[in-house]
Every structure is written in C-alpha cells, then in structure tokens.
Amino acid sequence: MDFSADDRKRLRDLAGEVGIELCAVSPNCDLSSPVPVQREAMICYVRECIKLAHDLGSPICKIFAAWRGITLHDGLATYDDTYGYNQYGFWKGDRRGLVVQSMRELCRVAEDHGIVLAMQNHGPDIVNRYQDVLSLIEEVGSPSFKACMDINIEPEADSPQHAHEMVKGSGALQVHSHMNGEFARRSDGSVELVAGGYFDEHFWGREVAYPAYVDALVASGYRGYMNWEFCHPGLENRKPVGIDYVHKQTELAFEYISTLRASAERKVHTARASGA
C-alpha cells in the first residue's frame, strides 16, 4: 500500500515485460471483529488493496472473512498463538453479521474500481467450508462479490466426490482458486503430493483430492487461476528452511498441477470426441 503511483506503474510494466499476469491482490483480513475500531481499520486496509489491484491491472482481491493472522518470533511466522485460543471470547454475539456489513461497504468500493472480491473458504470461525462463502455471497448480493475455493482446506479435503460437489455447487461464482501442500519427486521423475490441508497433525500424508478437483474445474469450463501459496511453516528435519526450499516446492507444485491440468484436458477432449 505504500507503493507510489510510479512504483505501481513500474511493477505493472515489469509484469507485462516478463509475461506474468497479476491475477490477484490478497488482503489478509479479518472483517469480523466486534471492536469497531479494529474492524474499521481492516475495512480501510482492504479498500487500499482494492485501489492497489486497480492500479496494477489485477481484476481480483482475494479476501478472508475472519483470518486470525500470524505472529512472528525471531523472524519466523506461526499460527500457534492466534489459533491456540479464542481471541473474541469476550463476545457472545454472532460475528457473521459484522462480516456481511463489512462486505456490503467494501463491495461498493470494489464496484467503483472494477474489482472483484473473491472470498476464500478459509476457516476457522465465520467460514469453515465452501457453503459458508456461497451463503455470504447470496446475503450480500453484490455482483462484485465472488468466491475463491480451495479443496485443500475443506473438511472433506481427501474426497473426490466432495471436490466435484464443490465445483458444481460454486458454479460461475468461483472466479479464483487456491492450493497449498508439499511435494516430492518420485524415482520415475514424476511429482507426488506428500502433504496438504491445514498445518495440523494430519498435514503430512493427507491425500488432498486435487486430481478430482482439477478434473471438475476443467470440465466445468473454469477459466480462472489456481493460486499456489507456500502458506505453512517450512521445516526440514524439524528445522526452519530457507527461501531456496520454498522455490523448489514452488517448481514442484507447478509441475504437479500442470500435469493434472493436462490430464483433465485430455479427458474432456476424449469425452467430446466420443460424443459423451
């Protein structure tokens, strides 16, 4: 947000020169605080990100309903502090209505700037699954409010059936997608998923239904991006890793998801050729 007009132009021009579309700006926000000054600060933050997206030529702001945030200890980020207790335990009311109010205000700003607000199905609290996002979209009722879905963090993350249901249920409201995980290269050279979902005791070994999810997205005609984030602690032999590890994981993630997409496109082509 502290980018000057010249900074924003340079970034936009650089992205064009190297052929990278700035597909989304991502405000990590909590729009549910019952403390007005905190909620208003978040609304102001998202408003500034909407303006940034407009200036960069990015069509989407990917947002959260109630992201709990992280803390930093000696430069290392953790969710442990913010997810370890109920930070709004003093509040006995329903915070969902606060999100609805915030979104109605932000949607007007987004409409004025030609930006779409895509809410991710990221928990906990107000949003815990994709249906919660769709419900908020329906209640707010703005054309600038859409969905960013992630099978990776659904309660049924490993269910192919659920992956298909989520894509079908979201339909045209889904304009963006998100993925996370860790990957490894097999002895035959292919890439496999070795971890996924929320960074909990089931992270390592969780078989997220990415193949079914990508199949469903391609078959549905989805034209948006699947945004990769290394959004969990980077550890190797229980010790923090450096940026090179993240770069390598990013390369593997791109190869993994590209292979799934190619496979899904072949299935669609075969089905059309056979008249199915």
> What separation in angstroms does the CA of 60 have from each of 30, 107, 175?
18, 12, 9
* Structure token digits, residue 28: 């990590």
3-state secondary structure of 167: helix
pLDDT in tens, the chain (276 residues): 789 999 999 999 999 999 999 999 999 999 999 999 999 999 999 999 999 999 999 999 999 999 999 999 998 888 889 988 888 999 988 999 999 999 999 999 999 999 999 999 998 889 999 999 999 999 999 999 999 999 999 999 999 999 999 999 999 999 999 999 999 999 999 999 999 998 888 899 999 999 999 999 999 999 999 999 998 889 888 899 999 999 999 999 999 999 999 999 999 999 988 876
Entry pTM: 0.94
What CATH number was assigned to the domain covering residues 1-149? 3.20.20.150
Phi, psi values for residue 238, rounded to 5°: 65, 15
- Reduced to 3 states (helix: H, G, I; strand: E, B; else coil), residue 79 is coil
- Write out the residue limits of the CATH 3.20.20.150 domain(s) in the chain: 1-149
Distance CA(155)–CA(166), nearest Å, equals 12
Measured between alpha carbons, how far is residue 231 from residues 7, 19, 28, 36, 227 in Å? 26, 25, 12, 29, 11
Residue 253 buriedness (CB in 10 A; 0-12 / 13-18 / 19+): buried
Alpha-helix runs per DSSP H in 144-242? 160-170, 210-220
> Which is nearest to 33 in space by CA: 78, 96, 84, 83?
96
pLDDT of residue 252: 98
Helices (H), the chain: 5-18, 36-56, 80-83, 96-113, 130-140, 160-170, 210-220, 243-273
Q: What is the pLDDT of residue 276?
A: 60
Rounded Cα distance, 276 and 272, in Å: 6
CA distances for 161 relative to 151, 215, 235, 257, angstroms: 11, 11, 32, 19
User: What does the pLDDT read at residue 75?
Assistant: 87
**What is the SS3 assignment for 124?**
coil
Torsion sign over Cα 221, 225, 229, 231: negative
